[in-house]
Structure 1
Amino acid sequence: MPDLAAIVIHCRDPYLLAPFWSAVTGLPVAKVDQVRLADRSLGPTQAVLLRDPSGHRPDIWISPADDLPAPGRIHLDLVGDAEERAAVLGAGATVVRELPRWTVLADPEGNEFCLLPRAEAHGDQTPPGH
């Protein structure tokens, strides 16, 4: 089976979403893209790379797109405790709805994602966003 190499998050504003998803995932922005973000010098179709220096996690590309459906083209399921939830909210996420076993959140552009408690993450339940 192929390995998952990367996740692409399409967005309207990579200057807004790259720092958000970097903070939420803990993946640093690649050095060349740090400069482009700071200088606001990304080309109109240029994506921003978030990369795990250890290579143990997939890359995340924050890629501009003109035509985006609501609530976006991604749905990530994240796992975290109360402290991590507070950090995600502090990074700019908003609560969309509270469900009995997880919370649906949205990034600053409205892309929805779920935050599951660790106990829910490895069960045999239907994935939250599906």
Structure 2
Amino acid sequence: MPYISSVVIHCRDPYVMAPFWSLVTGLPIVDEDAVKLADRSLAERESVLLHDPSGTEPDVWIAVAVDLPPVGRIHLDIVADDDERAEIVAAGATLVREQEDLTVFADPEGNEFCLLRERH
């Protein structure tokens, strides 16, 4: 059966987006990239890797792209409890709309994603 090996999130500012998506996905930024983020020393258009040390979750790459459409670059459904939701909002998520079984948010660059209470 096919499976997802990695997800790429294109962005303009990896210094904002990598920590945001690390918090949202629960995947840590690999040490080498975390140092570059802290030092603000990423090479131009260098990607940042979020990686599950256990290897059970797909990698997430935060990749700089110059010509991005305004919306619709990605869409993820993420399961999160109330405390996790509050932390995601505090990190910069913006409420877009509430639906019966999910809440749609936007990340700091406007990409929409859904927070679910349980896996569908």
TM-score, with normalisation over the residues of structure 1? 0.87
Contact 1:17 1:108 in 2 (8 A): yes
Superposition pairs of residues 45-124 of structure 1, within 5 angstroms: 45-118=45-118, 121-122=119-120
Identity of aligned residues (%): 62
| Matched letter for residue 44 of structure 1 | E
Superposition pairs of residues 14-29 of structure 1, within 5 angstroms: 14-29=14-29
How many corresponding residue pairs? Answer: 120
Displacement over 3 Å in runs of 4+: none
Whichever of the two has the greater Rg, that structure is 1
| Matched letter for residue 110 of structure 1 | G
Cα distance between partner residues in 2 of 1:56 and 1:105: 26
Aligned-pair CA distance for 1:72:
4.0
Contact 1:80 1:115 in 2 (8 A): yes
Contact 1:10 1:72 in 2 (8 A): no
Cα distance between partner residues in 1 of 2:65 and 2:97: 26
Contact 1:103 1:115 in 2 (8 A): yes
Cα distance between partner residues in 2 of 1:101 and 1:29: 30
Gaps of 5+ in 1: 123-130
Aligned-pair CA distance for 1:90:
1.6
The 1:4/1:106 distance shift into structure 2, 3 A limit, reads: same
Root mean square deviation, CA, Å: 1.1
